[in-house]
Structure formats: C-alpha cells, structure tokens
Amino acid sequence: MHTVGALLRKVSVTALPLLLGTSSLLAACENEKPPSVPTVASVQTPALVALPPKGAAKLPYPSIADRTVSVSYFGTTVKEPYQWLEDAKNPEVAKITADQNTLSRSVLDAYPGRAKLKARVTELVSQKSRDALDVKRAGSAYFVLVEEPPKQQPFLVVRKGTAAADEAKPLVDPNVIDPSGKTTIDWFFPSRDGKWVAVSLSKGGSESGDVHVFDARTGKEQGDVVTRVHGGTAGGSLAWNAKNNGFYYTRYPRKGERPEKDEDFYQQVYFHELGKDPAKDVYAIGKEFPRIAEVELETTDDGKLVLARVANGDGGDAELHVLADKGWVRLSSFADKWVHATFGKNGKLYVLSRKDAPKGKVLELDKPTVAASAKVIVPEGDAVIEQLAATSDTLFLVDLVGGPSRIRAVSTKGPASSTEVPILPVSAVDQIVRDGDDVLFKNQSYLLPPSYFRYSAKDKKVTPTGLGAPATIDMSDVEVVRTSCLSKDGTKVPLSVLRKKGTALDKNRPTLLTGYGGYNVSRKPRLRPLTRLWLDRGGVFAEANLRGGGELGEAWHLAGNLTKKQNVFDDFYACQKALVDEGYTRPERIAAMGGSNGGLLMGATIVQHPEAFRAVVSRVGIYDMLRVELTPNGAFNVTEYGSVKNEEQFRALFAYSPLHNAKDGVAYPSVLFTTGANDPRVDPYHSRKMTARLQAATSSANPILLRASADTGHGMGTPLGAEIEESTDIYSFLLHELGEAL
C-alpha cells in the first residue's frame, strides 16, 4: 500500500559521457530499488540563519484602499476590493507600484551576502554555454540564432556548414542595433534561396514585432518594414514564395481597421512583395478564422504550396489550410484534431492527428491538397508524438516519454520499420530540422547544455556539430532521479529530482520544487545554470510533470484543464508531500517557484496549502481567474481555463481563483511576486492585486513582496543584465527565507 509520498520508480542518471559516432549512447541506469541513502552526508548539512520569530510584526506594507466592487455570476455575488488596481494609468496605482518596489528593495538589498551572491549569479549566467537557439537551412547556408553571454541579446549569424571550423558570419545583431539591450529577435525566416532573411524585431519584452528584411550576403537592411506581424497574443509567422521575391505573413489589424479592443485579435495572412509599399499588401486568408486564431506558416521546398496551421486559441485545437494553384483548400476542421503538419522532402504532407489517438498518430497525404488521400502510416504507440520531420524516405518522430524525449526514424517506403536514434539519457529534443536526407536535432539534459547533433542517413550514426559549445558548468557530481508520486485521486505523477551525489536524506535539504501544468506544454529536461548555485548549498532541485501538460498525451492535458484544473494543484501538493515523506526536506526548508501558468499554480498553492512551503516565488502569474478573459491575451486562454459565461466553468474558476480564495487571518508563507510592465501575455495587474490581497490577509510576519519591472515583459527578450538582477533577487530571497546564509 503506497502513501502519497511513495516513490514508485526511480532511475538514477549521472553526467555520463556521450558516445557519438556509434550505434548507441550510454543508457540510463534503471533500478527498481530506491537509491541508497548515505548514513554520513558527503554533502554537509547547511548552516542555518535565524528566521523571523512567530508573532513578529508585519512589514510596513503600502496603504492600499479597499474599494470593493460586487459582481454577480449565476446568483453568486463576488466581492473584490482591489479591482481598481487594474488601471496602470491611474497615478494612484503608479504610486502604489513604486511604493511596493521601494519596500521590496529595502528588504532584498539588505540581505547579508547579497553582493557575493550576485557575483556568483553573474558568473553562472554569463558562463552559460553558447547556445544555438534556432537553426534553419536555406540555399547552401545555415541561419543560426545564437545566444552568447555576456551579450545582452541573441543575434543571427549565417554559416556555410555545421562543423565547428565553419565560419559564423554575423548577420543581424540587436546588440548593435540597440546597445541598450532592449531590442530582441522574435524569429527569422530566410528566403528559400538564402538571399534574404526576414526578421521580426520587438522592444522591451513587448513581443510586438515588426518584420525587417536583410540581405543575407551583406547584412544590410533591404528597406521593407512590415509592422505588427508578431505579437505576444497569437505570435507570428512567415513563409517565402516560390520566386523568393515576397512572403506570406501573419498580420494583426492596423489602426482603424477594427475597434481598439480587437487590435490584438483576428490574425490573418497577407502577402508582401519586396520593394512594394506594405500598405498595399494583398490579403490571402483569415477572414473566416476565429477571433483568437494563432497562425503558423510553412512552404514546400519549391515554394509552390503554403501550409497554414490555424490554432483556436491556446487550448490545442487546430485546423489546416493549404494554398495551391487554384487557391486555398481547407484540409481539416478543429473537430478533425489534425494538430500539426509538415511537408516532406518528397512533397508529401505529414499530419500529426489526435483523432481517437490522444498520444498521436501520423497520417501521410500523397496529395497535400486532398484530405481524402490521408492514410495512417504510424499508429498511436506508447509515447506522445510531439514533432515531425520528413526526408525522402524516412519520417523522424520526436516522442515524449513522461517528460524526457526520444527520436524514432520510421521508414516511409515498403514495410514500416522503426529505429531509435541515440540521444542523451533523460534528455529533451527541442528541435529537429531536415537537412537533405539527414536531420539535425537539438538535445540537452539536466546535466549537459543544449547542442545540435547530426543523424546521418547514409551511415545511421549520430555526430556532434559545431552548433553549440562544450559545457562550461560542471555537473559531473550531480545525479538525476526520475521518480513519481501519487496524487490525491491516485494518479501517478512523474517527478525529476536533482541532487549532488552523496546528498543525505536528513529532512534538512533546502529544496526547490517547480512545475507548470497547462496548455499541453511539457516540462522537459534542460540545464539551468542557477541550479548549480542551489546544489552547491547542499540543496535539492525538483521538477514535476503535472497534469495539464503534454508529457503523457492529450488525455493528460485534458485531465488538468477547464473544470479539471484542480488536479494540477493536487499533483503539485503531492510532489511536495513526496519530497517531505522521502526525507529530502521538511516544510520549513522547501520553496516553490513557477511562472505564467506556473504562476497560477503558485497562487493556488499559496492559498490552498499555506503550510506546505516556507517560501514561494511567483513570476508573471495569473491570479484573478474571473477577469482574466477580459484582457487581450486572456481571451486566448479561454479554451484552456474556461469562461465565467459558462456556469460550470465559472464554478470551477471561482473555486480555485487565487485572488478570491485568500483568507484573512491565515499565516501565509514568504512570497515574492515578479512582473513586467510590458508583459503582453499576463497583465501586470494580476500581480498588483494578488500582492495587495495577501499583504492585507496574512497573519504572519513573512514578507509578501512585489518586484515590478518597468522595462521588461513576460520574460522573452529580457536583457542579460536585467536577468542577472532579477535572478539575484529571487535566489537571495529564497535562500534567506529557507534559513540559508547567502
């Protein structure tokens, strides 16, 4: 009989060397028995610092007026005292935000040892390995978006090859365009012949991107600028035409085309010809799309067919359209559950379908414009199919196996046969790119940094490329334990635990638990430089694969969205219980951190289980579930969270909405809320309101702080310097609140 904290399966993985150029990699060690617990800690028990005594006075929080408004939903009256804090233009709101920042700075800057901690944060973040964030092949060149600390922003280079010796020529560098570090590349698309590259540039973390066209040979801007192509709501995309003299692109309404409240909706597709006035661009498709459409574009190798994948908001539903000689053809509707698709080198269309297959099956369309030509070539299997790439005769599938990835090479000629492509143990494949009959794939783990590898179709071997860099942070003394725990309803929830080898399970480890649980987004292994800082203090880092994510398929996602969202919070609490029950830590020594939808998770955890964590960091989170749909991006969230216009969904939202479930007189844990004024995804008012509510409600002296940045957004495009400052605040807060010396 297992308790909630029973660890049902463990896989211990150390930083194993990668054997490339062979038919296999070193496999992870699997053991049904729990790892041995050292009787003497080889990692010393951390020295504790004094925490505020019980009954201590609260901090001098800003005085915030209670201007309660009441709204009735299906006979239920909801009162909210801080709705007036939604108006960022109100001088009173601006003053309160400034006062909150002043208070937070007085606390965060006063921590003994903060300067030393900042130096270590700077070292680790700046020491982060050079990372190729995105790779695209066009003509005979490779276009690579490179992140290279200590540069503030990623920049675009062009290469003739992928070997380490191949020259990387700078092409578009936001650090040169804007030395302040506030301009970022949202995405880029080279023309098929590699002559031009279209780049979306945005400022201040706003994600409001305009497309600029650059000459790929000289790096000089061609002159065309197409505005409002990318946004923080529906994103953006682009695809070049067959002649390489123009492109199809996603377009938001221009001023005056729709009411102001709709300017971040109704994404459509237009065509722009190089050298022509963008104001005269030609409409292509989209008037029939939903208000919350999110469009992705792709073309065949010859540019003669254009694929438009249209998502209906953020819930996972999509439909497909193809442009051919005779116009646009609708291949599927939302009900068909054709969720992704890609063209193969052979000109066929490959579709990932979740129709009667929650983990996914693959269809092949011999005629890409004829839905009736679809046939199943890969049936649903034991893992979740996440990505596709097709060469002349092979379909490469990136699967999710509870969080970590695997790659399968499936023959599309003759009898179907499948071969597993070697990758790092307990790792993530973030991107797979067709390169002739080979593929490039980006692979990383909790212990090794991301890098691209090549799978050769000719010799069936994996070899490293020059698109990456050697590890600069040594994780060889760290092990990863893949485990699981039982949630409230008996569901087994996967959990990854990182610890230094020899860490004693003495119930005293400073432990940091994180999770997300939403939008079919999967939490995958990745190297976080600041995990090194945490582990060096004898700490434990844990990441949960909660329902609502996509780690175990669409059924796993649906078990944690809409009216079933409470399952996500129950899963997270079960993971906390598991870490405590197994002897890693105790409530006074465990913290939680999450952002965005993970910020909602933090908010719900705070109000539902205030005793479970000593400290919580909640970044750019959603806390008012009754009004979130009224914001531009919130409307895209309705397919994930539900709407107050539906009574059943309202009941569910109201039952867990963090803002509405905070209770007066409860001893809440220490909380640091962070937000950015330019956030296009989650309105900063959520953090203002939740901070005010908890400050008024809590009976404890534990600090409730708001860190509101004026120059950043949801996190995308944050300059390196700003990232260092925020990370220093976060980790000094967490360590101090858990009783650790900085």
Mind listing the pLDDT tens digit for each residue in 234-261? 899 999 999 999 999 999 998 889 998 8
- Residue ranges covered by each domain of the chain: 86-123+473-737, 132-293, 305-381, 389-472
- Please report, as a single letter, which amino acid is at residue 725: E
pLDDT of 28 reads 31
Distance of CA 431 to the CA centre of its chain: 14
* Tokens coding 626: 């009754």
Instruction: List pLDDT tens digits, range 91-146.
Output: 999 999 999 999 999 999 999 999 999 999 999 988 777 889 999 999 999 999 99
Distance CA 465, CA 502 (A): 34
Give the count of beta carbons closer than 10 Å to the beta carbon of residue 196. Answer: 23
Distance CA 472, CA 454 (A): 22
Distance CA 392, CA 437 (A): 6
pLDDT of 206 reads 83
Residues present in the chain in total:
742
Instruction: List pLDDT tens digits, range 690-741.
Output: 999 999 999 999 999 999 887 776 766 677 888 999 999 999 999 999 999 9
Distance CA 142, CA 454 (A): 14
Instruction: List pLDDT tens digits, range 291-315.
Output: 999 999 999 999 999 999 999 988 8
pTM: 0.87
Q: Residue 436 burial (CB < 10 Å; 0-12/13-18/19+)? A: exposed
Q: Is CATH 3.40.50.1820 the right assignment for the domain spanning 86-123+473-737?
A: yes
CA distances from 484 to 108, 257, 326, 481, 730 (A): 35, 52, 53, 10, 27
φ, ψ dihedrals at 579, nearest 5°: -65, -35
Distance CA 709, CA 272 (A): 36
Distance CA 500, CA 44 (A): 11
Q: Are 690 and 602 in contact (CB under 8 A)?
A: no
| Domain 132-293 homologous superfamily, CATH | Prolyl oligopeptidase, N-terminal domain (2.130.10.120)
pLDDT of 7 reads 30
Distance CA 382, CA 397 (A): 13
Distance CA 499, CA 508 (A): 13
Distance CA 511, CA 539 (A): 6
pLDDT of 468 reads 81
* Tokens coding 518: 């939403």
The 3-state DSSP class for residue 535 equals: helix
Asked if residue 3 has pLDDT above 70, the reply is: no
Opening angle at CA 14, ends 11 and 16, nearest 5: 120
Residue, of 417 and 355, whose pLDDT is higher: 355
Alpha helices, DSSP H only, in 174-273?
A: 174-177
Average pLDDT taken over every residue of the chain? 90
Give the count of beta carbons closer than 10 Å to the beta carbon of residue 733. Answer: 25
Q: Are 682 and 708 in contact (CB under 8 A)?
A: no
Model confidence at 53, pLDDT cuts 50, 70, 90, reads: low
pLDDT of 55 reads 58
